[in-house]
């Protein structure tokens, strides 16, 4: 799931992970969206499996609107 600090949660999303050369598992995910107004937020990923939950560090997302709607 994708979590916005102090706000909404989206997902869950199903991902397939693969074991890397270092013995750790990795999966990738991308999502495209349109920016309609200025945003300054933080997000993190929450992963749950049969072993429990893992959370990423908070990652900032700062963007401005190309056509200047609301900022």
Please spell the DSSP secondary structure of 52-65, one letter per residue: EEEEPPPEEEEE--
* Tokens (6 digits) for 8: 């909404």
What tens digit of pLDDT does each residue of 4-53 get? 999 899 988 888 888 989 998 888 888 887 777 888 999 999 888 778 88
Q: Could you give the CA distance from residue 63 to residue 38 in angstroms, rounded to a whole number? A: 6
pLDDT at 67: 65
Residue 42's DSSP bridge partners are 60
pTM of the model: 0.69
């Amino acid at each position: 799931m994708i979590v916005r600090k102090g706000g909404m949660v989206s997902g869950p999303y199903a991902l397939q992970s693969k074991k890397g050369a270092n013995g750790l598992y990795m999966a990738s995910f991308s999502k495209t969206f349109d920016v309609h107004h200025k945003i300054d937020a933080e997000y993190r990923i929450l992963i749950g499996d049969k072993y429990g939950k893992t959370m990423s560090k908070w990652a900032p997302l700062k963007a401005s609107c190309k056509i200047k709607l609301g900022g």
